[in-house]
Structures are given as structure tokens and as C-alpha cells.
Amino acid sequence: MTSLAERTWQIDEAPFVPGKLAHTETIFTVGNGYMGLRATFEEGYPGELVSTLVHGIYDHAAGELVPELVNLPNPLPITIEVDGEVFRLDRGTLYGYRRTLNLKEAILRRGVLWRNGNGAIVQITFERFASLELEHVLAQRVAVRALNKPCTITVTASIDGTQTNEGVGHWTSLIGSSEGDHRIVVTGKTGQSAYGVAIMSSFMPHDLSASVQTVTGGSLQPFVRCQVPLEPEQTATFDKVTAIHSTRDAADPLAAARQTLDAAEARGWDSLRTAHVAEWARYWDDSDVEIEGDEVAQRALRFTTYHVLIAAPRHDEHVSIGAKTLSGPGYKGHVFWDTELFMVPLLTVTQPRLARNLLMYRYHNLPGARNKAREAGYEGALFPWESTDTGEETTPRWIEVKPSGERIRVWTGDTEQHISTDIAYAVMEYWRWTGDETFFANYGAEIVLDTAVFWGSRVEYKPERDRYELPMQIGPDEYHENIDNSAFTNSMVRWHLRTATEVWDWLRHAHPSVASDLAMRLGISDARIARWRDIVEKMYIPYNQERGILEQFDGFSKLQPINLSLWQPRVTNMDAILGHEATQHVMVIKQADIVMLMALLGEEFGSQEERLRNWNFYSRIVDHGSSLSPAMHAWVAARLGLVREAYDLFSFAASIDLEDAKGNVRDGIHGAAAGGLWQAAVFGFAGLRLENGSFVVQPNLPEHWCSMRFHIYFRGKRHTIRLTAE
Ligand code: IFM
């Protein structure tokens, strides 16, 4: 029996349900901010989706629309034969199965009780982790115990260099070989992007007297094989340690892999595990949110925080987290606003160093954003809607909808421009929370200012109405494309330009030499600043007088109303039901849009009454067609004191990955929903926010939460916050 405390730190799967494999492979992903490995079985399973992803290794294969994160050779395979019969879950007899992801230790364990065709029963346990201490190291252990009769165990560890991205090949010159009697290696180079990669594994039995045979198999699947005779109740244990390097982190990945493996072997497997667990203890000490009185919410929050933490790069500021983290092929590993507005806040407040890495990724990619603005005929920097390693726009222009095969023009890469402001917002929040002036003066300010330069050139002045407008946009609600004057975008642009003028004033006084450099490079002049001030004053924000709420965009209230409460029970998104084109004319929204604005602007959005009016209208017509939506709604509902509604939405957000509520977890973890859940808890229920240069909490805890405890960093100092039910 596991204790309550242990249960809230682990995700269990028992019994084995083959039909849920695509889901469990994703949620049991292990990673360390460098690599992410889906939880496919060591021995394989029919229909599995093997995926070994390393941040930044993108490639654009010939004939494909866009680049994608490349699936590396699979380092996981370990096959076991019992008296010559191959162990697999779809063969023999399975008497028992349990898989557990220990979130506290970030270790995945699996135990099975299995009988072969000749009646030999064995207990097999597997363990794996991606070392948080040594980020290039993956560690696996397998132990086989004979139970009822003597048998001979043959265990084969290999690296599978035949992997593709669901049929799309990215590798040239893949070579597999062995080194000495217990090491194997696969090296290769991606085709278009020419990243070199080396994956080297060592495989060792604990009992060195076991007969070890090393064979170089088919060149793309080198293997090490060990054979051990076992008496009943005897156990044979084997350790596999893998080192992964690429030309993104080493001039010679093969030499680096060899060196990493030497160091890891010298340390020994148990010491690697001890250090890994200790490192995780440090991260959890800062990022854990303890909830007393709600085991389900507690586990869900630890699960989602785990997934953000395993995806966040530790030592590389040239990469960022894709929408599906490193846990699946969804969105081809591309980086969206999901990172800055949904995942970064958790890190800004609890792991500022990691938040900084992610914001630096945007800084380094300013050249791509400048290209995008220039190509569209504007000034400044317009960040790509979908971004990879180059910082250039990588949104596909067309997609094919399954199963109909209908081809749809994707406009987000052209007109979902609010991402530039979202990034500026994340930079400002990071600065406000951390006070990291070195970052802000040298990098952050440039992001905020150059994206402001873009908006200054993008908005259109309408002399007949003496106001600035913003035509042809997509707001967060992507069901309505190329609309005019998105209230979200226009409001955020107004916030952005006002902020930019304040940043400019500060910079000129605090860092005059940086200011004069930026003035020259970005073309910031008194005239430009005066224009920004004018835009702030005259930016048009659509308003619906009749309802006393913001109008989501021009003409929104004239769309065809629909009573969503009648379209139940429903799991399919409304645009899939109504059709992409038809949905444009219907008053149903995909995700938090005005509600998102309320989350970001807080009290600045308006009075409590105004916020409630907007909530009452917009929260009733959203179909949460995007996983980004429920957590934002939960956050806002909690701030409005609608705690029961907030809790339902929080539970919905928590179920997205854990319960596969949207049926698409196969594609990877919904990173934004994961980061959003933390925001719903901390910014929503705890009511943490910045006010007058300090932080405040204004809790609205769900009735059954006895207490909530977490740590935050504010201006470099750690604070503990403990809230109890009244
Ligand atoms: O960025 C999101 C967008 O807001 C909704 N569609 C999915 C994208 C990636 O998660």
C-alpha cells in the first residue's frame, strides 16, 4: 500500500491496457531539458510511437512543407529471451503489470510477471531516467528474476538507427558499430540542417562472470548481448547507460559521447541515480505547490509541473519548448506563444534561470523576427507564429484535414501577430518579478522595443475617425480568421506601446549608452516615441455598448448565435462539427480570448463589474477547442470569486493530459495546459500578483482545500507562501 503522500507523487498504470498505449507513452515521458523520450517499451510493442527528441535538432526534409524536430535513433531497446523465447507483452502470458512514474524522482519504473510458452515464469523490472545532473546521459536498468524453474536469460541491448518521423527520413550517413565488448554507437547527420549526432550506449551485467558476447548487428541496429543461466529466485541485473551529443553542443559528438560515457561509467549507475534524485529534490523544493485536502489536484499539479520542468532547457539559451514539449510529434516540435504566456510564468516565479534561457531564445532569434516584419512590409520585429532553430516563420501555409482530406489555408503564420506582444509581455513579467537588470538592459529591452517598432508601423491611422486600427488579425480565438480590430490584440498593442515608452524613458536614464546604441540600430527617435504615445491614446478597442462589454472584434455580435449547452455531450471541437468556413460566421469561440485579456491585464482590464459582465458573456460561448483555454478560464474565474466554476475548469485543465480529455495526447503533452494549470492554482486560487512594486496574494481557495503552500522568487529572494482555509 502506498501512502497518501507517495500517491500524490506518482502516476500509475495497472493493469496494462494496450489500447491506451499512445496516451501512456506520452504521459510517462522522461526528460531533462536536453532530451525527451516517450515511454515506449524497451522490448517494443506493435503500433508504438517511438520518439527520442533533443532540443534544437530540426531538419527540413525534401518534399515536406516545414522543418520538424527530428526523431533520433532510439537508445531504449533491450530485449529479453527466456530459454530462447522473446519476452513481449503481446506474447506469452502476463500475470501482472505495473508502471509507475515517480514524479519526485523523475524515474519511470515497470514491473511485469510473465510466463513463456514452456512454463518458465519470470519477474522483470525496468527503470529509466534522463539524468538531471548529466544532461547528456540516459540511464536504464533491467532485472530478471527466475521464479519457478531454472532458465537461461538472454538480454540484448541495442540502439535502433532505423527510426523516422512517422515515415519521413531525416538522416544521411547513419553508421552503427561497437566499441570494445560492451559499447555500441550510432552516428549520423541530418540531411538539410546537417546536425551531427552521436548516441553511444554501454551495457553491463552486474555479474561480470556472465558470458558476454558482443556482436555488431545490422549496421543500423548494433547490439550487445549477454546470456545468464538462472536458478529459481536468482536475479540477473543489467545496466544500460547512453550518452547523446550533437554538433549543437560539441564539435565532435562522437568524442563527446565517448567522454560522457567514460565519466558516467566511472561514477557507476547507483551514483548517477542518487545525484539525479538529489538534483530533482532541489527543483521540487522551489517549484512544488503543496495542496492539503485534494489528492487529485495535488497529483495533477505535480504531474503538469514535472512536464514543464523536464522540457525546460537548462544549459542552452538558443532553444525553446515546443507546444508538445519533447514528448511527441505534435506541431512538429514548433514553438508557439504557448511557451511565453503559459509555461514561462511558472519558471519566472519559481525557476528564474530557466525562464531567462527561454527568453534569450527569442532574443537570439530577433533576426528572424526582423526578416518576417520586413518581408511583410513593416519595420521592427514580428516573431514567427511557429518557430524552430532558425527563428524564421515555419507555420505551414496549408494543412490537410483528416479524414475528409480537405485542404485548408493556414493564416496564423501571416496574421496571428499578437505573439510579438505576448513575448514582450513575458519579458516584462520576468523583469518585474526578478529585477534582472543585466538581462533587461542588454536583451529584454531590445525585444520590447523592436516589437514595438513593428506595431508602430503595423497599426493604421484612420483620419476620418481619428483613431488607430488593426485590420486582418487572428486573436487567440482562431475560429475567426483575418478579422478587424481584435479587442485582445488592440488592447495588448496599446499596453505594449505604452510599456515601450516607459522602458525607453527608463533606459535613457539608467543605461544611456545602451539607449543610444538601440536608438541607432532600431531607429528609435523622439518622433517615433511621440507616435507611440499617440497610438496609445487613440488605439481603437471595439466595445459593445448594448451589452457593456468588449466586442471581441468588429462585427462579432452580428455573428450567428449558437446555444452551446444544447450541443452535448460533445468532445469534438465545434469547427470540426460545423466545418472550418462555416464556423467563421458563428458566435462560438475556440479559447480564452477576452478572458485571456482579463488574465493578463488583471485589474487594469476594468472594474470587477466590467470583468464579470465580460466573463458572463464570453465564458458561455467558448467551446474550449484549444487545450490552452480551460486553465485560463479557471484563473480568471478564481479571481472573480467564482470558485466552484473555477475548480471545475481547473479539473478540466488537469484532465487534458492525465485523462486524455481531448483524445490527442498521442501527439504529445499539451505544454501550455500544463503551465496554465500552475497559473490557475497560483495566480488564480492563491491570487498571487504584482502590485505597486511588490507581490500580494488574495486567495480564493476551493472549499475543500485546507491549505496551499509554495515558494516564489521575487527580486532574487525566495519567499514561502502558506495559505489556509478561513
Ligand atoms: O498556440 C496554440 C493556439 O493558441 C491554439 N492552437 C494550438 C496552438 C499550439 O498549442
Choose which residue among 320, 324, 336 to substitute to test ligand 1 binding: the one with the highest number of ligand atoms within 8 A of its C-beta: 336
What Rg do the C-alpha atoms of the chain give, in angstroms? Answer: 27
Residue 714 resides in a domain: no
Q: Active-site residue numbers? A: 478
Cα–Cα dist 559/581, whole Å: 13
Whether ligand 1 lies within 6 angstroms of the CB of 341 is answered as: no
Between 352-364 and 366-375, two packed helices, what is the crossing angle to 10 degrees? 40
Q: Are 61 and 168 in contact (CB under 8 A)?
A: yes
Nearest CA to 80 out of 23, 156, 185, 14 is that of: 156
Which pLDDT does position 6 carry in this prediction? 87
Cα–Cα dist 261/621, whole Å: 55
Distance 670 CA to ligand 1 centre (A): 9
Distance 36 CA to ligand 1 centre (A): 21
CATH number at residue 39: 2.70.98.40
Grid cell for residue 179:
566499441
Domains identified in the chain, total number: 1
Cα–Cα dist 340/365, whole Å: 14
Residue 264 resides in a domain: yes
Whether ligand 1 lies within 6 angstroms of the CB of 323 is answered as: yes
In our burial notation (b when 16+ CB lie closer than 10 A, e otherwise), range 500-515 reads bbebbeebbeebeebb
Between 643-658 and 671-679, two packed helices, what is the crossing angle to 10 degrees? 150
Which pLDDT does position 212 carry in this prediction? 56
Choose which residue among 324, 481, 628, 632 to substitute to test ligand 1 binding: the one with the highest number of ligand atoms within 8 A of its C-beta: 628
Residue 51 resides in a domain: yes
Residue 605 resides in a domain: no
CA quadruple 506, 510, 512, 516: dihedral sign: negative
Residue 699 resides in a domain: no
Strand arrangement of the beta sheet that strand 52-54 belongs to: 30-31, 35-37, 52-54
Whether ligand 1 lies within 6 angstroms of the CB of 337 is answered as: yes
Cα–Cα dist 518/521, whole Å: 5
Q: Residue 289: CA atoms inside 13 Å, Cβ hemisphere, count? A: 34
| Ligand 1 atom nearest to 338, measured from its CA | 1
Whether ligand 1 lies within 6 angstroms of the CB of 619 is answered as: no
Which pLDDT does position 2 carry in this prediction? 80
Cα–Cα dist 640/531, whole Å: 36
In this structure, what are the phi and psi dihedrals at residue 374, rounded to the nearest 5 degrees?
A: -65, -45
Distance 372 CA to ligand 1 centre (A): 20
Grid cell for residue 385:
507564429
Residue 153 DSSP label:
E
The most distant pair of C-alpha atoms in the chain lies apart, rounded to whole Å, by 91
Grid cell for residue 53:
527528441
Q: Are 679 and 346 in contact (CB under 8 A)?
A: yes
In our burial notation (b when 16+ CB lie closer than 10 A, e otherwise), range 359-391 reads bbbbbebbebbbbbbeeeebbbbbbbbbbbbbb
Closest protein CA for atom 6 of ligand 1: 626
DSSP codes joined into one string, 342-379: IIHHHHHHH-HHHHHHHHHHHHHTHHHHHHHHHHTT-S
Residue 463 resides in a domain: no
3-state secondary structure of 272: helix
Question: H or E segment at 433?
Answer: helix 419-434
Grid cell for residue 263:
565519466
Distance 232 CA to ligand 1 centre (A): 54
Distance 591 CA to ligand 1 centre (A): 9
DSSP codes joined into one string, 182-248: TEEEEEEEETTT--EEEEEEEEEESSTTSEEEEE--STTS-EEEEEEEE-TT-EEEEEEEEEEEETT
Q: Are 560 and 611 in contact (CB under 8 A)?
A: no
Whether ligand 1 lies within 6 angstroms of the CB of 628 is answered as: yes
Whether ligand 1 lies within 6 angstroms of the CB of 626 is answered as: yes
Which pLDDT does position 657 carry in this prediction? 98
Residue 180 resides in a domain: yes
Whether ligand 1 lies within 6 angstroms of the CB of 395 is answered as: no
CA-to-CA dists, residue 70 to 307, 389, 609, angstroms: 20, 12, 50
3-state secondary structure of 473: strand
Nearest CA to 370 out of 483, 439, 447, 299 is that of: 447
In this structure, what are the phi and psi dihedrals at residue 239, rounded to the nearest 5 degrees?
A: -115, 135
Question: H or E segment at 143?
Answer: strand 137-146
Cα–Cα dist 523/298, whole Å: 50
Over residues 498-535, the pLDDT tens digits come to 999 999 999 999 999 999 999 999 999 999 999 999 99
Choose which residue among 626, 627, 632, 657 to substitute to test ligand 1 binding: the one with the highest number of ligand atoms within 8 A of its C-beta: 626
Q: Which residues of the chain are modeled with pLDDT < 70?
A: 208-218
Distance 149 CA to ligand 1 centre (A): 55
CA-to-CA dists, residue 28 to 273, 290, 307, 338, 671, angstroms: 18, 22, 10, 21, 14
Whether ligand 1 lies within 6 angstroms of the CB of 338 is answered as: yes
Grid cell for residue 284:
521540487
What's the count of helices (H) and strands (E) in the chain, helices before strands? 23, 30
Grid cell for residue 584:
467563421
| Ligand 1 atom nearest to 590, measured from its CA | 5
Range of the domain at 148: 4-284
Residue 86 resides in a domain: yes
Cα–Cα dist 451/137, whole Å: 38
Distance 664 CA to ligand 1 centre (A): 13
